[in-house]
Structure 1
Amino acid sequence: MIIDNNQLLRFTTAGSVDDGKSTLIGRLLYDSKSIFEDQLEAIETTSKRKGHAGVDLALFTDGLRDEREQGITIDVAYRYFTTPKRKFIIADTPGHIQYTRNMVTGASTANAAIVLIDARHGVIEQTKRHAFIASLLQIPHIIVCVNKMDLVEYSETVFNTIVNQFEEFSSKLNIKDIRFIPISALDGDNVVNRSAHMDWYQDSPLLHLLETLHISSDINKIDARFPVQTVLRPQREGFIDYRGYAGRIAGGIYRIGDSVTVLPSGFVSKIKSINAGEKEVEEAFAPMSVSMTLEDDIDVSRGDMIVKTNNQPEMLQEFDAMICWFNNGSARPNAKYTIMHTSNEQKAIIKNVVYKIDINSYHRIETDKELKMNDIARVTIRCNQRLMTDSYRENRITGSIILIDDATNETVAAGMLV
């Protein structure tokens, strides 16, 4: 397999508290020699001050001062590193159940997810929760790292038992590719280098797997979707009559001369020009940020969507979505929120909780209509006006929403249209 060394892999880590996520990322950075000397010196100094015999690998990702003082990861910590074969962006997410929302944030753009399991504890509720969220977000690759194998005497039996546990419940999920690796992040077994303690494991160590995973694009290249973020009316020489519509293309390809429809108004026109920065281009495609002009002077504003006339999204005022509830407070049907969908922002209510998911069994709970923190549920949402939507399976951008509490301005839920 030929690997493009300019190719970027985004991956997230997930697991329960103290499963060793930060230590694993630190080991990856340390053993792959992706640490700057001054950073390494600072971490070594901090490790000595804390009384550690060696380098505290977790400090490479626990970058915030208050996180270090508490000894926990409380936010999504992003790290970047490069090997001769590939570039990486890591999202290290916290394991505490109250920070599940951070896992959703970190995983929303990931190509792969590393799910850590403590070999002593096996599959627990958080493992199932994180796997379910990865399935909802349609992350194509799940790498299950059974960590702390040194604490179970590198037992192949323990590893196989956990593999069977994970496969039993994950068979109910929509996950395309699952790999299993026995590791010790603290000692480096099967992280960058193959372990001398587990000769029964014959597959690749973690870094080699990350370097060779196939990255498939999640961009919809067929359905042209251009949410308008702002209208450009520059008042300077050469631009007196310029009226451009700026935004980031969410799908498909646009070319000068294409027949387009502006939604929700339904006005039809043709693309007159496309600008990427200061340069005019003949065509533009997702995920480029561009400005367009149309041949006709029609009413277009923020929140509208420019689409191909012969390929339009659904326009829905009421729809179902799978959501993860982030807020400490509960929500009930008919609660009012601000919904954000692409560049469109309007008022909405949760009309009905269709069912909630029992994370342990994945059964549907249809009798409980109250949403509480970290609940995953299918809900019916009704908006003031119609939204231009695709299912999340077809387009991650036009198929995703967030809900905001008007009183506190907090993001209370993120959802995927079904």
Structure 2
Amino acid sequence: MLQIAFIRENQEKVIKALAKRNMDAKSVVEEVVQLDERRRATQVELDNILAESNKLSKDIGELMKAGEKSKAAILKEKTVINKEKSKKLAETAEVIAADLAEKLYTLPNLPADIVPEGKTPEENLNVFEAGEVPVLHEGAQPHWDLVKKYDIIDFELGNKITGAGFPVYKGKGARLQRALINYFLDKNAAAGYNEVQVPHMVNEASAYGTGQLPDKEGQMYHDATDNLYLIPTAEVPVTNLFRDVILNENELPILTTAYTPCFRREAGSYGAHVRGLNRLHQFDKVEIVRVEHPEKSYEALDGMVEHVKEILNELKLPYRILRLCGGDMGFTSALTYDFEVYSTAQERWLEISSVSNFETFQANRLKLRFRDKDGKNQLAHTLNGSSLALPRVLAGILENYQTPEGIVIPEVLRPYCGFDIIN
């Protein structure tokens, strides 16, 4: 959430920055400023009445001691009137504050200066590309045919148990899935990330804290009885470990990693681009989250990008990195890099990771602060990235490593799998 003081002092800058997201924010920004002025004016009036009431109470006490009960009675009548006024003002302030918060929740994060202009994914900027696209044998297949051929993932069985988008992993498919999870976690731990296991459901405050609510309410599975949400990513529970926390500056940075299943309702379109593992309602992902000093967060973002690059280099998958344009960035992000693996069998790029800096946007919602060397509390910066999301990484491995003899396992995964080929 954007800080109200920043909006108030930089209205034109905020409007211009949000225009890069193709958002006309002028009316919302003006309304936010007006609501804040009303809130502040109401609070000043309330504080004055409360101060007057405190003084009256002291005066009443002195008059009673002096035996001047009639004068004290007159002041008591004033305190009754003030009490009613302060009650109404407090109620008004509460309503205004709620309206202001609701408006602030509608404003996305400001894009960083290096975010390119653009409205669609086609306008994202390709900043890096690596790896050789393999030449596949005649008759090579997309992964949804390969998994049937080798009986390693069953989409129909998952559909019977739950519905579309909930596959069942079997045999070597399940072992390869587990191998990827363990490999990702080991790589993250070796890079200094502390592994945690977190709940797979979160409360409303947690979803608001990281920006899933109200922006992505329709994309999350919701248990109305207990008002809990199945997590769309480990980012939500992991980042909320630090909600309402004041850190010491010397505790920064904090690096955390977690494996979780992820759940997304995502309205289904049809076609090869969402077929098989390309889009699921339940999938596995290993996440990395960082809490950083504001002066070091972009250096940390570059480090996260290099970390994901190292993993993909070890898997020997062809990939590229895109800097997302303003129109394609997530609601909470200030800067996002997407990683995409090339699927030779599908002849298309598959998104497998996003690495983002949220600056203070999430921290402001979370009230995540650190105490600097001068003893002042400042908002921290939060960052997160997929390291990695499994479905499309798995699809890329199955399709790019297929041979007439079977699917060869990337060398780095063989110690985790216990086998070299799926055949």
Normalising by structure 2, report the TM-score. Answer: 0.24
Bigger strand fraction? 1
Higher relative contact order (CA 8 A, sep 6+): 2
